[in-house]
Structure 1
Amino acid sequence: MAISKLQLALLATAMAAAAISPTASGAYTGCATPRKVTIQNLSGRDLPLSETPLANSGALFGAGYVLRHGTHAEFTTCLWTGRVAAPGAAVVEFHVGPDGGAWYQVDNRQAGSPVKVTVTPHGRPLQGHCPAAGCRGGGQCFADAVPGGNCHAVDELKIIYYSP
């Protein structure tokens, strides 16, 4: 059976589209199960977010991203390492890997900060030592770091910004 020029053109277009549309910008393409980074804003103000990708990670959300109060955003990725920052909040540094491993850290000395922030891993079920890190409103604080190699089966890493 011969392939028509139209079929060949459609096949070439589909292959090109698949090649340039990874799960997330800069995402590792060998991922069998993509991971999710969710950022939620409960701070009482709109938050301009910035990111600093590390270890050859691509952009997670890009420059100029503003997360409106009362909303959340989900970013699908397979492999990402870097920092996320918002004005008035502690910087969150984390890594999510294609195998479900994760590490994360955020200062839990946020008493004078106008915006509090926590990082919490989610999985079904989580394995290892995976506590919440950072501080919520009302002065409730948790661990400040989860070192590499001890938190596994992470499907989602959730960053939440709170009002004091």
Structure 2
Amino acid sequence: MAISKAQLALLAVAMAATAMSAAGAYTGCAKPRKVTVQNLCGRDLALSEQPLANSGQLFGAGFVLRHGTHAEFPTCLWTGRVSAPGAALVEFHVGPDGGAWYQVDNKQAGAPVKVTVTPHGAPLQGHCPAAGCRDHGQCFADAVPGGNCHAVDELKIIYYSS
């Protein structure tokens, strides 16, 4: 049985679409972005993620970040949540154009692990404060809504000891 040209063309389109969705491919990134996670909390952290809005895996299941280390995850765009045991949930979006929004509770007084989210860029544009809490009770904003922070090259999540 022979495959017609139309069936072959349809098959090629379907395979290309599958490959793009499987790889989370987005070709509109003018400049790669990254998410960096750093562990300063005094113990190893088992991180988990919940990708949202058709985002692919950032680091995958079973990722353990050793104390005193950091890991960088290059991405074009990503939306989702990152969590660690004993720390507040971090939710964020990094866009292909450098726009970002992020939020983390800044009422972490009883948490055994503190967490901050800080954007980095050269230079950042708009309203881009650090969010969350550091060690020794120093806290910042709890949310940076969409549309206000631009030119983000890196979103850095840092876990601290209490």
Under TM normalisation by the shorter chain, which class is it? 0.7 to 0.9
Equivalence for 1:75: 73
Question: Taking every aligned residue pair, what percent have the same amino acid on both sides?
Answer: 87
- By percentage of residues, which structure has more strand? 2
Question: Where has structure 1 moved over 6 Å in runs of 4 or more?
Answer: none
Residue in 1 that maps onto 2:128: 130
**What SS does the corresponding residue of 1:57 show, helix, strand or coil?**
coil
Structure 1: runs of 5 or more not aligned:
1-18
2:60 to 58, 62, 66: 62
1:43 aligned to 2:35? no
Secondary structure of the corresponding residue to residue 147 of structure 2:
coil
User: For residues 119 and 26 of structure 1, what CA distance do their matches in structure 2 show?
Assistant: 24
How far has the Cα of 1:139 moved from its partner? 0.2
Deviations 1:28-73 (A, max 9, x none): 2331201010000000000000000000000000000000000000
Q: Distance in 1 between matches of 2:145 and 2:48?
A: 23
Q: What's the TM-score, normalizing by structure 1?
A: 0.84
**Aligned partner letter, 2:93:** H
Q: CA distance change for structure 1 residues 30 and 117 in 2, over 3 Å: closer, same or farther?
A: same
Could you tell me which runs of 5 or more consecutive residues in structure 2 were left unpaired when the two chains were aligned.
1-18
Aligned residue number for residue 7 of structure 2: none
Amino acid at match of 2:139: C
SS of residue paired to 1:60: coil
Match of 1:118 in 2: 116
The 1-side partners of 2:64 and 2:117 are apart by 19
Matches within 5 A, 1:8-23: none
Distance in 1, matches of 2:142 and 2:24, equals: 28
Other structure's SS at 1:41 match: strand
Residue aligning to 1:106: 104
Decide whether aligned partners of structure 1 residues 27 and 64 sit closer, same or farther in structure 2, where only a CA change above 3 A counts: farther
Residues 56-98 of structure 1 deviation map (CA, whole Å, 9 limit, x = unaligned): 0000000000000000000000010000000000000000000
Q: CA deviation at 1:27?
A: 4.9
Take 2:53 and 2:79, find their aligned partners in 1: how far apart are those partners?
A: 6
In the alignment, is the contact (CA less than 8 A) between 1:128 and 1:150 conserved in 2?
yes
